Amino acid sequence: MPLEVVLIDYARDPLLKLYGAYRTCYTPKTPPEVWRDIGDGTVSPEKVRDFVVERLKTGHVSPLEQVVFWFGISGVSRALSHQFVRHRIGISFEQQSQRYVKYREDRLEYVTPKSWEKSPGMAEEYDRLMAEITRVYQLAVEKGIPAEDARFVLPNATPTNFQVMVNFAELLHVADLRLCWRAQWEIRHMVALMRREVVRVVPELGSHIQPKCGEKRMGYCDEPLKDWERCPIGKVRPHKEQLFQLFARHKAGNLEPLGEAELRRVEDEGNEP
């Protein structure tokens, strides 16, 4: 069963919602006046987009809670779902029940990590165990053991499905953690597919869905130095220890200021997709 993520829906006109929310904070105008300006075209779509894009560069994140996305997610393992449901704020989950849904297939479907397939002989061991679990599970159901008890033999590899509602502030936070190279591969893959869906419909927002070291997020890594050294993104993103060292050198006057050309190069590199 392949991992699949679909964007079911999203709150109408997310950029306008963000414009209205941010504008309300920074203008003497009342919200009805702000929204009249939007409605009668006094504020063009370009101005809305530019204003929002500028605000997204700031630490003012609470307006992002006013933009909501709904996702349908299928074919993820219970190992993933245990991690996913740990997120508590600004996210709401509905997950397929193992009490009310019995696994009827001849061969219970399950998620197989690639690492088992790469290790000689281990994929066969994995399949053999899954087949045995399937046999015992189905026997238990046939013998009248309720699904809620039969499921006790099911593995972390069992696939599950979600409908999820998440606001944009929390989606960014989830991506901060779960797109990080230190996150588990499957949840990283799922969040990457969520990002792809948002990029498809609102690229201005979707491009901000990055690991926390991304140039539109913190811009540096705060994970253990050893992990940063092993991380492929570590080749292009600084570690916080390096930033502290640079800052100490700067304070001590031991750092040459960058020239115009160098500054531009650093900025260009930082803006790489």
Ligand X SMILES: Cc1cc2nc3c(=O)[nH]c(=O)nc-3n(C[C@H](O)[C@H](O)[C@H](O)COP(=O)(O)OP(=O)(O)OC[C@H]3O[C@@H](n4cnc5c(N)ncnc54)[C@H](O)[C@@H]3O)c2cc1C
- Residues at the contact surface with ligand X, assessed by CB under 6 A: 86-89, 170, 173, 177, 182-183
Beta carbon of residue 75, minimum distance to ligand X (angstroms, whole number): 21
Our answer to whether residue 135 is catalytic in this structure is no
**What is the spatial distance between Cα 102 and Cα 239, in angstroms, rounded to a whole number?**
48
Strand order in the sheet with 91-95: 4-10, 68-77, 159-167, 91-95
What are the two backbone dihedrals, phi and then psi, of residue 82, each rounded to the nearest 5 degrees?
-60, -35
Nearer to ligand X, 108 or 174 (CB): 174
Could you tell me the smallest distance in angstroms from the CB atom of residue 201 to ligand X? Answer: 23
CB of 176 to ligand X, least distance (A): 9
Of 187, 194, 190, give the one whose Cα is nearest residue 209: 194
Rounded CA separation 201/219 (Å): 25
- Of the residues 23, 55, 78, 178, only one is catalytic, namely 178
**Cβ closest to ligand X, residue 157 vs residue 172:** 172
C-alpha pair distances (Å), 98 with each of 93, 151, 153: 15, 7, 11
| Residue nearer to ligand X on the CB measure, 57 or 86 | 86
Write out the E strands in 66-175.
68-77, 91-95, 159-167
Alpha-carbon distance of 32 to 187, in angstroms, equals 42
> Measured from the CB of residue 89, what is the shortest distance to ligand X in angstroms?
4
CA–CA distances in Å: residue 183 to residues 94, 133, 173, 229, 269: 23, 28, 13, 15, 25
Contact indicator for 185, 113 with CB cutoff of 8 Å: yes
**Residue with Cβ nearer ligand X (170 or 186):** 170
Which residue number, 5 or 172, has a Cβ lying nearer to ligand X?
172
* CB of 91 vs ligand X, minimal distance in Å: 7
Q: Which residues are catalytic?
A: 178
